[in-house]
Structure 1
Amino acid sequence: MTRDDLAGIYRDYIACLNRQDWPALGQFVHDDVVRNARPLGLSGYRAMLEQDFREIPDLRFNIELLVSDPPNIAARLKFDCAPRGTFLGLAVNGRRVTFFENVFYEFRDEKIWQVWSMIDKDVIEAQLKAPSPG
């Protein structure tokens, strides 16, 4: 698989997430997917994403940076959204926040098999400490 092929598969995966096209998720995610060293399997991974969209109704994945080096992808994803209630242990309560996720993927059989993810929680905390605009 070429770098461009892998990057294309990843972009299609992000589009699948943004459409919340859960039946298509298996086209992109391996049945034995592991996230941050925790085996989830496809059904657990799907449940995690569905929960994310329930807690953040306006969730949208935006690729800010993408590096493809088969069988790996590295991405910096940007989010501008308003999580309901508590998010990452922070009382966001519908306030709009902008934050980033740095994520690395390993592909097997042209599907996401391993995911290592870190969300920049500090930037969210700083926004919550700042006075609300308005």
Structure 2
Amino acid sequence: MACLNRQDWARLGSFVAEEARHNGRPFGLAGYRAMLEQDFRAIPDLQFAIDLLVIEPPHIAARLAFTCTPVGDFLGLPVNGRTVSFTENVFYGFKAGKIAEVFSIVDRQAIAAQLQG
């Protein structure tokens, strides 16, 4: 998480495998990095915070908490610079000490509710 929060893309390969997959799609390290870079462009104040962590090798499960200000649309919702709070549930699968598989889902409904209220 510290590597992501620092946007230390040069070190991302120390934690993520070259053949990494995200939600069943073959992304590779380069694709995973590109996705994260896009996330930070869309959400300049993005910071990853661990709310809950469960470790059962070779897997890690986490509930990540975010309070941030996406610019424009985010997950198809017109956030447009409003500050929103939401969570992401993510499962990491490791191979040879690196993240090889990521399954994640963002609580889009929580964001939609904030935009309506």
TM-score (norm 2): 0.99
Matched, 1:50 2:37: yes
Q: Pick from 77, 81, 84 the counterpart of residue 90 of structure 1.
A: 77
Matched, 1:22 2:9: yes
Cα separation, 1, equivalents of 2:108 and 2:70:
13
Cα separation, 2, equivalents of 1:121 and 1:44:
23
- Residue 101 of structure 1: CA displacement? 0.1
RMSD of aligned residue pairs (Cα, Å):
0.3
The within-5 A match list for 1:1-134 is 14-130=1-117
**How many correspondences in the alignment?**
117
| Percentage of identical aligned residues | 62
Structure 2: tracts of 5 or more residues without a match: none
| 1:19-45 Cα deviation digits (max 9, x unpaired) | 000000000000000000000000000
The residue identity in structure 2 corresponding to 1:75 is: A
Cα separation, 2, equivalents of 1:71 and 1:63:
19
| 1:90-124 Cα deviation digits (max 9, x unpaired) | 00000000000000010001000000000000000
The structure with more helix, counted as a fraction of residues: 1
Larger radius of gyration: 1
Secondary structure of 2:20's counterpart equals strand
Secondary structure of 1:122's counterpart equals helix
TM-score (norm 1): 0.87
**Deviation beyond 3 Å, 4+ runs, structure 1:** none
- Residue 128 of structure 1: CA displacement? 0.2
The structure with more strand, counted as a fraction of residues: 2
